[in-house]
Structure 1
Amino acid sequence: MSLFPEIRLVPFSRLTQGGRWRVQAMRSYSAPQLLWITRGQGRITVGGVTGGYGAHNAVYIPAHTMHAFEVTGAVYGTAVIFSGMPDLELPETSHHLRIRDGAVQGEFTGLLESLQRELEGRRPAARRAVQHYAGLISVWLERQIAEAEEPVSATDSARRLAAGYAALVEKDFRSDKSVSDYAAALGVTPTHLTRVCKQTCGRTASDLLTERKISEARRLLADTSAPVKQIAGALGYGSPAYFTRVFHDRTGQAPLAFRQAI
Structure 2
Amino acid sequence: MSESLSPPVRLVAIPRLAAGGRWRVEAMRSISEPLLLWFTKGQGRITVAGATRGYTPHNAIFIPAGVMHGFEVGAQVFGTAVFFHKVSEMPLPAHPQHLRIREAPVQQELNQLLDQIARELDSATPGSDRAVRCYAGLLGVWLERHTARLGTDAPDAARRLVARFTALLERDFRSGMGIADFAGALGVTATHLSRCCRESCGRPASALLHDRVLFEARRLLSETDLPVNRIAESLGYTSPAYFTRAFGHLTGQSPSAFRRAS
- Residue aligning to 1:162: 162
- Residue aligning to 1:59: 61
CA distance in 2, matches of 1:47, 1:242: 29
Give yes or no for contact 2:174–2:213 (8 Å, CA) kept in 1: yes
CA distance in 2, matches of 1:10, 1:256: 30
Post-superposition Cα deviations, 1:74-118, rounded to whole Å, max 9, x if no partner, equal: 000000011233332111211111111111101111111111111
CA distance in 1, matches of 2:49, 2:111: 26
- Residue aligning to 1:8: 10
Query: Comparing 116-125 with 95-104, which one deviates more in the overlay?
Result: 116-125
State the TM-score, normalized to the length of structure 2: 0.94
CA distance in 2, matches of 1:150, 1:88: 20
Report deviation, 1:23.
Answer: 1.1
Post-superposition Cα deviations, 1:189-221, rounded to whole Å, max 9, x if no partner, equal: 111100000111111111111110010000000
- Residue aligning to 1:201: 201
CA distance in 1, matches of 2:85, 2:259: 28
Report deviation, 1:252.
Answer: 1.2
Give yes or no for contact 1:214–1:247 (8 Å, CA) kept in 2: yes
CA distance in 2, matches of 1:76, 1:108: 15
- Residue aligning to 2:144: 142
- Residue aligning to 2:32: 30
State the TM-score, normalized to the length of structure 1: 0.94
Post-superposition Cα deviations, 1:124-156, rounded to whole Å, max 9, x if no partner, equal: 22222211211111111111111124765xx61
User: What stretches of structure 2 of length at least 5 have no aligned partner?
Assistant: none
Deviating above 2 A after TM superposition, structure 1's stretches of 4 or more consecutive aligned residues are 1-6, 83-88, 149-152
Give yes or no for contact 2:97–2:151 (8 Å, CA) kept in 1: no
AA at the equivalent of 2:233: G
CA distance in 2, matches of 1:80, 1:258: 30
Question: How do residues 185-224 of structure 1 correspond to structure 2 at under 5 angstroms?
Answer: 185-224=185-224
Size of the alignment, in residue pairs? 260
- Residue aligning to 2:82: 80
Question: How do residues 36-185 of structure 1 correspond to structure 2 at under 5 angstroms?
Answer: 36-149=38-151, 152=154, 156-185=156-185
Give yes or no for contact 1:4–1:119 (8 Å, CA) kept in 2: no
Give the share of equivalent positions with the same residue, in percent.
56
CA distance in 2, matches of 1:248, 1:61: 31
Over 3 Å counting, the alpha-carbon distance change for 1:171 and 1:143 in structure 2 is: same
User: What stretches of structure 1 of length at least 5 have no aligned partner?
Assistant: none
Give me the CA root mean square deviation.
1.7
Over 3 Å counting, the alpha-carbon distance change for 1:134 and 1:28 in structure 2 is: same
Over 3 Å counting, the alpha-carbon distance change for 1:150 and 1:26 in structure 2 is: closer
Post-superposition Cα deviations, 1:20-43, rounded to whole Å, max 9, x if no partner, equal: 221112111111110000000001
